[in-house]
Amino acid sequence: MSQNEKTCLIRGDSGRTVRAILDRIGNKWTLLIIATLHGSRMRFTELQQHIPGISQRMLSLSLRHLERDGLISRTAHAEVPPRVEYELTPMGQTLIVPAITLAEWAVEHNPDIERSQTAYDTRPR
């Protein structure tokens, strides 16, 4: 598929599909949750300890959305006290490589972006 055809995928349906998915995975916590669960099965408290700054409410809400989207699975064990574990689904695991690629791009280009922002912010209006 040519680069032109690939960009048409982004623009297809006026970008609604891509925007909807990017809204979900591009939020403040999703990729951190995905990266934290990579190769692991974790309980709620473990996840919260590995993701500094996330509130209990936001983690709970994010996990619910990710489960609904099919990116993570939630397993409740019939024990006292109840034990619930989260892990990536096979589809969730496919998000790791693009997420790492995006993270690498961000780290590589962040200095350039910061320089551009400074130049923009300090130029005469």
pLDDT of res. 125: 87
At 16, which amino acid appears?
R
The conformation of residue 14, written as its DSSP 8-state character, comes to: G
- Tell me the C-alpha to C-alpha distance, in Å, between residue 89 and each of 12, 49, 69: 27, 21, 10
Q: What are the pLDDT digits (tens) for 72-104?
A: 999 999 888 889 999 999 999 999 999 889 889
Question: Do 119 and 64 meet the contact criterion of CB atoms below 8 Å apart?
Answer: no
Domain extents in the chain: 3-122
Q: What are the pLDDT digits (tens) for 13-30?
A: 777 888 888 888 888 899
Work out the number of other CB atoms within 10 angstroms of the CB of residue 1: 7
Q: Quick one: CATH architecture of 3-122? A: Orthogonal Bundle (1.10)
Kindly report the pTM of this predicted structure. Answer: 0.81
Question: Do 51 and 57 meet the contact criterion of CB atoms below 8 Å apart?
Answer: no
